[in-house]
Amino acid sequence: MKRAILWVAFAAAMAAQPVRDALEGFDPVLLVQGREEFGKQELSSTYEAFRYVFASPENKAAFDAQPSRYAIQLGGACARMGPPVGAGADQYFVHEGRIYVFGSGDCYKMFSKEPARYLEPPPAPFPAVTPGASTLARSRIERAVIALGGAASLDSMTSFEERRIRRIGEREIRERDLVALPNRIRQESIFDGRVFGFVTTPTTDFQVTPRGTELFTPYVAREVRRQSLRHPLIILRARNERGFRAAPREPDAVEVDWEGVRATLEFDPASGRLASLSYVDRGPNGAYGEVRRLYSDVRQVGNLKLPHRVTVHFNGAPAERLGRELESISVNVPIDPALFRP
């Protein structure tokens, strides 16, 4: 899961008003053509979180016919850091006919030098799986579930909570993930007495700030949800869900695809325990590459054996900033349903 520390660093951008005037008043249809021309206030359209103005009725009609082509991309998230990091609506860059915005001047500079590094590459097609390969993949997953504590313990789990303490210099950030299974997730950080975070559920996705809550744009909601669902407990528990796909990888791994999550699970050959989880995502500086989480320090929690330490590598190199050491894990904890409502 992408760490909530990003919420602290970009709190001002994230707490912006739900609908904002965009692009300093320039016509977006002309911007993607490389021309900066102010629009007219009487010619405007609102799409997702932004209001756009146009230099002519024809440009407004073109935008209204294909808003996803001309509007700010990534749902208004910072093009370098990606969701859930917010961005301003006026610091923009046009790349290959698409408009991107940024959370800071440094993000603008880094993206504008090498845009391709910060844009998600298209996923490779999921491999065709023969019945024999599917059986092998499923057997590896079930062995990992047994090593975790067994199918009955995992499948009957209703919730879990993870707590961490992160220190930045002399400051302390308390982080908490609350998961009401199968797929309601709240991740939050408490920093200087202020709460930042986000919530994702099958029906509603929103951010939490000291100024209240705000709904995500559809793209940001989808990306935040995908990041949240990359937890190994959630993935393993979803193994029998409709749409869950698994293909074996050698020597002791399985590639899975479910709810937009594409990941490779590697298992310890001796015990069958999940040893690592790999996927393509942004690294510490926002560029895309392979993120690999390695799990260790397994402890008994109720009827389950859960790792309390996550070490992260990005493109094969240690990425300490993305790692985490848990203060505690609790399972089947009561969770107030109100925490999942705006």
**Terminal alpha carbon distance of the chain:** 21
Phi-psi region of 275 (alpha: psi -120 to 50; beta: other; left: phi over 0): alpha
In this prediction the pTM is 0.85
With tokens 């065709």, the residue in question is: 128
- Parallel, antiparallel or unpaired: strands 194-200 and 184-191: antiparallel
290 lies in a domain? yes
Q: How far is CA 146 from CA 139, 153, 245, 270, 309, in A?
A: 10, 9, 20, 13, 20
**pLDDT per position in the chain (342 positions), as tens?**
444 434 343 343 444 446 889 999 999 999 999 999 999 999 999 998 899 999 999 999 999 999 999 999 998 899 999 987 888 888 899 999 999 999 999 999 999 999 999 999 998 899 899 999 999 999 999 999 999 999 999 999 999 999 988 776 677 788 999 999 888 999 998 888 888 889 989 888 888 888 888 888 888 888 888 888 899 999 999 999 999 999 999 999 999 999 889 999 999 999 999 999 999 999 988 999 999 999 999 999 999 999 999 999 999 998 877 777 888 999 999 999 999 988
| Same domain for 147 and 57 | no
H/E element, 236: helix 232-237
Amino acid at 66: Q
> What pLDDT shows up at residue 18?
66
Question: What is the DSSP code (8-state) at residue 75?
Answer: G
Same domain for 80 and 11: yes
Query: Does residue 38 form part of some domain?
Result: yes
Number of domains making up the chain: 2
Q: In sequence order, which residues have a C-beta less than 8 Å from that of residue 291 and are 6 or more positions away?
A: 278, 279, 280, 281, 283, 312, 313, 314, 319, 322
Q: Examine the fold and report which residue of 86, 118, 150 is the final residue of a domain before the chain moves on.
A: 118
| Residues 174 and 256 placed together within one structural domain of the fold | yes
Task: Tell me, yes or no, whether 223 lies in a domain.
Answer: no
Joined together, the tokens standing for residue 47 give 């799409």
The sheet with strand 40-47 has its strands ordered as 20-21, 50-54, 40-47
Give Cβ neighbours of residue 14 (< 8 Å, ≥ 6 apart).
7, 84, 85, 86, 196, 207, 209
Check whether residue 143 and residue 272 sit in a common domain.
yes
Find the DSSP H helices in 66-180: 67-70, 105-113, 131-148, 151-155
| Main-chain phi, psi angles of 316, to 5 degrees | 85, -10
**Cα within 13 Å of Cα(63), Cβ side:** 27
Considering the domain architecture, whether residues 282 and 330 belong to the same structural domain is answered as yes
The residue segments making up the domain with residue 103 are 5-118
Examine residue 253 and state whether it is found in any structural domain, yes or no: yes
The total number of residues shown for the chain amounts to 342
pLDDT at 322: 73
At 244 the pLDDT is 95
Q: Are residues 63 and 163 in the same domain?
A: no
CB atoms near residue 225 (< 10 Å): 21
Residue 137: which of 240, 244, 247 has the closest Cα?
247
The 10 Å Cβ neighbour count of residue 223 is 24
Q: Match 């509007």 to its residue by tokens.
A: 71
* Together in a domain, 260 and 299: yes
pLDDT value at position 85? 83
* Count of helix runs (H) and strand runs (E) in the chain: 10, 19
Our measurement of the distance from residue 333's CA atom to the centroid of its chain's CA atoms, rounded to an integer in Å, reads 24
Q: Which residue has the tokens 């992260």?
A: 312
Point out the domain boundary residue: 72, 94, 118. Answer: 118
Contact 188, 162 (CB under 8 A): no
